[in-house]
Chain A
């Protein structure tokens, strides 16, 4: 141990970029005695430290587990390629930041699945930890490999590699899982009998053990479904959900990184879930129902967080913070309370309306930040299709308010390749951007500003996601996506509008892994073997290697990403349930084609999506309580 630490600090870290990624001495880090606990777990984030440490879920689970006397949780992140090389040339194992132990020493390792394009990093981390990649190759001496997070709602591409998936909100279920593992090991003097343990774990609600299920295909290779094969295991797995956000655990002593991370601030989680019902948005369907945290509790948490972290900014995080029913008073009180300490408050997500601009204006009392709005589509017709209830009028109001208040830049997010999209919709994006620019110029002239406005149009490609009304939709082919990107580029004129778009090959692979079944396991293995890592980072993304991997394994990715599915087609995630009914999703899809919008159940009647009917939960708004 001492020897490894010495090699690490004397020989390895001086050679790598950002050595602090690989040391766990941050403020509020928890280092527990391994002999004093019954279970040693490792939180594994399959991306670089700065990304992983910005993830609130990590801080929640880390705090929750480490507050338990019997368990400990440490951390590991994907090593950047320079560090990977250092470890491999010395034959050293990937290690945990807290105790610098090889990751294979832990009882269980939990990966978070935030993004499909981090999957090769999972394989690479296991390999660097000298742990066999495939679940069936791992005997009783190896840690149990767990995964959770949004991509676990279709985890089939990872089914070969992961022992068990957790569906839903981790803080609700993790201690139940740990209790079973700890008890199992206690009975067996610290050893595990993986077969027996997995069967025990499969009894916990929200736990999906893929080896207990099998997939069926017809002779042409068409996917026919997933069925349970193990007696005593449930045919369907339903997500776990926190009922009351005020009662849920929240970490008041989060780790404060030394290194500048992506979100370098205190995070207050004001609400969970979103019922706006945008039909492309997976988060909107995964995290229902909307549950708010009370303002008083949030302010108390903010006080504790500022005492315990020393951060100079508080972020009010959620899927849509301007929808928080007490947002105005929370913001005002937080600003008043923290202004003297020069602690700013920020809102990461804003709705396209003047109410949100007023909030943004309040926020500027301490620090000035950029503003981003997401109309998502260029015409009212297409916005109705996707149920993004934003009008051109809303956007013009926002533009007026923003530039009148002194901002000179505005960023607009759009999506390209949405179902039913035509060239007219792309023209709409260009027209909208031009109108926004002209309006901005008018306002700046009117208020006598000498500055010139800058509009950024940022365009991503539509990726059909499981558990959404668009799960049956095909993605545009790569060629079409690229043509559309080019077309739009030609339509956007003038140097005051900055146009950028996401790499279409990446969106294509995202669609493949979002919708694929277990046959993708072989592709993933092959891609990793060929050297794919950090696919979400354009400097490391190797589309040529991915093509090679598909060819070698005989999987045709276009048949997954670009194929329209019907209501009767089996889906690889049919056995995994969010609580929103499949029939409801289909009905929403039908409404999309009929240009019919659906209201938000916070302000309009219940849409009977199934969540409050089938799960023992309900929407919780704090206003007026």
Chain B
């Protein structure tokens, strides 16, 4: 049977790479004695597929994975068993059986929502923030430079930014919905780069990025992966 798990990656685990996270999850599932389904071959791996990799240093409360089990187990039983076996900083928030969905998580997820905290080097007002965002949005293109396998190339990220809001709570807080998944990825740091170009104030270095969730966006509708499982 296939289950979809929503999990969080919190403070204590934020420096895990995606590979570290995959290993940690497999070990937690083994400790919880879940009847894992394995791949065939010389080097059998548990059948777990992840929605999206999260960058080192980034926390999240909305990560997802599909877990295949050899035997049927109630979703809340799986949730209950896992509570005691996860390492610090990783929490399984919800478990649902996959019934409707045919495609992999990775194939259907196309939007990520981020909360970004930027330390302020000088006091600024809400209207400075509004102005910065409006100035940025009025630009025809948001061109950033990406380092690819074949060298550097320029990309316009503007079509991949669906929503951008800012407010001040001691720090400058930005919230954004951006494109993610197989069709293209916009990094929150790239959005900041554009904002820094048009802003009138200096920015601090140590930003914190937190992912609020991964979503399926169809027109103006936004679904959580659990709703589509």
Contact = CB atoms under 8 A, between A and B. Distances in A.
B133 to A, nearest CB: 25
Given A27-B87, A258-B24, A260-B23, A341 B30 contact: yes
Given A306-B30, A310-B31, A258 B44 contact: no
Q: Which of A20, A259, A310, A311 has the largest number of chain B CB atoms within 10 A?
A: A310
Contacts of A23: 12, 15
Contact of B27 (A14, A256, A260): A256
A298 B88 CA distance: 29
Nearest to A11: B206
A29 B87 CA distance: 10
A545 interface: no
A10 interface: yes
Contacts of B11: 9
B38 interface: yes
A81 B87 CA distance: 28
Interface in B146-181: none
Contacts of B19: 260
A25 interface: yes
A25 B12 contact: yes
Nearest to A14: B57
Interface string A292-326: 00000000000000111111100000000000000
B43 interface: yes
Given A342-B38, A366-B44, A20 B30 contact: no
B57 A25 contact: no
Interface string A484-515: 00000000000000000000000000000000
Contact of A258 (B20, B85, B206, B208): B20
B42 A367 contact: yes
Nearest to A368: B42
B29 interface: yes
B33 interface: yes
B31 A308 contact: yes
Interface in B14-29: 14-16, 19-20, 23-24, 26-29
B87 A258 contact: yes
A428 B20 CA distance: 45
| Interface of B, helix, strand, loop or mixed by DSSP | mixed
A190 interface: no
Nearest to B44: A342
Contact of B28 (A20, A29, A260, A310): A310
A26 B23 contact: no
Nearest to A259: B20
B202 interface: no
Contacts of B12: 23, 25
Contacts of B20: 20, 258-260
A29 B23 CA distance: 17
A13 interface: yes
Interface residues of B, number: 31
B89 interface: yes
A256 B88 CA distance: 12
B136 to A, nearest CB: 25
Contacts of B38: 342
Contact of A27 (B27, B56, B57): B27
A19 interface: yes
Interface in A16-33: 19-20, 23, 25-27, 29
Contacts of A367: 42-43
A306 B44 CA distance: 17
Given A20-B16, A259-B20, A367-B43, A25 B88 contact: yes
A310 B206 contact: no
A366 B42 CA distance: 6
Contact of A307 (B26, B33, B44): B33
Given A19-B15, A20-B15, A25-B12, A310 B29 contact: yes
Nearest to B38: A342
A387 to B, nearest CB: 38
A19 B56 contact: yes
Contacts of A341: 30
Contact of A309 (B16, B27, B33, B57): B27
Interface in A367-406: 367-368
B206 A25 contact: no
Interface in B26-48: 26-31, 33, 36, 38, 42-44, 46
Nearest to A307: B31
Nearest to A22: B15
Nearest to A16: B15
A292 to B, nearest CB: 29
B204 to A, nearest CB: 10
B158 to A, nearest CB: 28
A25 B42 contact: no
Contacts of B27: 27, 256, 309-311
B87 to A, nearest CB: 4
A312 B31 contact: no
Nearest to B119: A10
Interface centre among B11, B36, B87 (most CB of A within 10 A): B87
B124 interface: no
Given A10-B206, A14-B57, A310 B15 contact: no
A10 B11 CA distance: 11
B226 interface: no
Contacts of A259: 20
A364 to B, nearest CB: 8
Interface string B39-77: 000111010000000001100000000000000000000
B98 interface: no
Nearest to B21: A258
B13 interface: yes
Contacts of A311: 27, 30
Contacts of B56: 19
A584 B11 CA distance: 58
B52 to A, nearest CB: 19
B71 to A, nearest CB: 12
8 contacts: A20-B20, A25-B89, A27-B87, A258-B16, A310-B28, A311-B30, A366-B44, A367-B43
Interface of A: 9-11, 13-14, 19-20, 23, 25-27, 29, 256, 258-260, 306-312, 341-342, 366-368
Given A309-B31, A367-B42, 11 more contacts: A13-B15, A20-B16, A20-B20, A23-B15, A25-B89, A27-B87, A260-B19, A260-B23, A310-B29, A342-B36, A342-B44
**Shortest 5 CB-CB contacts between residues of A and residues of B:** A310-B27, A310-B30, A27-B87, A310-B31, A19-B15
